[in-house]
Amino acid sequence: MEVAELKAIIEGLLFASGDEGITVKQLQKVLGISKETVDHLLEELKYEYERRDRGIMIMSSNEVLHLTTKPEHSDYYKKLLEVPQSSRMSQAALETLAIIAYRQPITKTEIEDIRGVKSDRPIQTLVTRSLIEEVGRKESVGKPILFGTSKEFLTYFGLTSLDELPPLPDTDEPEDINQEADLFFERFNDELE
């Protein structure tokens, strides 16, 4: 594999790892290359990100690597947070919300098992919009957070209780359940535009 392609993959892995970040050891395992090669590629990426025309950088904290924004652009990020966001939610957020609505209380790991992908960002989006909230801790190893829908969820979708959610089809196929729930939430999403 070429150096440029390896750097592109590392960049993608850094982005995909989100807030959790990724370690050099994890990069080694995923790419099947030596620690020295990973270190060299990371140094090249860091050097490229130092240019003025780049808006991101690689940060290392406790041996975990994160892709992050440059502090010198912080005024613009603050302005972004002040600008009202559109009321439309991403497909990932809608899927996650449907899973939580029908399976609550549920942990992030259980959501990810159903969706088949990491769900940190959709969960954060839903928490930020106050559509879901922490409703407790599961009595298992690590006591993971349990999520459930909030009162704002009911208001947002014009429901008086969770009993008004459309019934799920009688099937054991998670894909069918997710599709049915997605259709329900997409209908409301479209109406809010």
Write out pLDDT tens, residues 118-176.
Answer: 999 999 999 998 999 999 999 999 899 999 999 999 888 888 888 888 887 765 555 55
| Residue, of 21 and 84, whose pLDDT is higher | 21
Range of the domain at 147: 91-191
Residue 43: Cβ-neighbour burial (10 angstroms; 0-12, 13-18, 19+)? exposed
- Shared domain check, 184 and 140: yes
pLDDT of residue 158: 84
Tally the domains of the chain. Answer: 2
Query: What's the mean pLDDT in 20-44?
Result: 94
Q: In this structure, what are the phi and psi dihedrals at residue 22, rounded to the nearest 5 degrees?
A: -145, 150
With 0.75 as the threshold, say if the pTM is over it.
no
Q: Burial letters for 109-123: b for 16+ Cβ neighbours within 10 Å, e otherwise?
A: ebbbebbeebbeebb
Asked if the structure places residue 80 within a domain, the reply is: no
pLDDT at 187 over 80: no
Asked if the structure places residue 60 within a domain, the reply is: yes
Asked if the structure places residue 59 within a domain, the reply is: yes
- Shared domain check, 100 and 187: yes
- Shared domain check, 154 and 97: yes
Which residues are bridge partners to 56 per DSSP?
A: 69
- Shared domain check, 9 and 67: yes
> Of 20, 42, 73, at which residue does a domain stop?
73
pLDDT of residue 19: 80
Detail the DSSP E strand segments found in 14-137: 22-23, 56-61, 64-69, 106-107, 132-137
pLDDT digits (tens, 9 = 90+) for 53-71: 899 999 988 889 999 998 8
pLDDT of residue 22: 94
Q: Write the DSSP assignment of 148-186 as a string of letters.
A: EE-HHHHHHTT-SSGGGSPPPPS-S-HHHHHHHHHHHHH
CATH of the domain at 132: 1.10.10.10
- Shared domain check, 95 and 64: no
Measured distance CA(10)–CA(4) in Å, rounded: 10
pLDDT at 183 over 80: no
Tokens 């090669």, residue?
A: 37
CA distances from 15 to 12, 137, 154 (A): 5, 29, 33
Percent pLDDT > 70 in the chain is 85
Asked if the structure places residue 69 within a domain, the reply is: yes
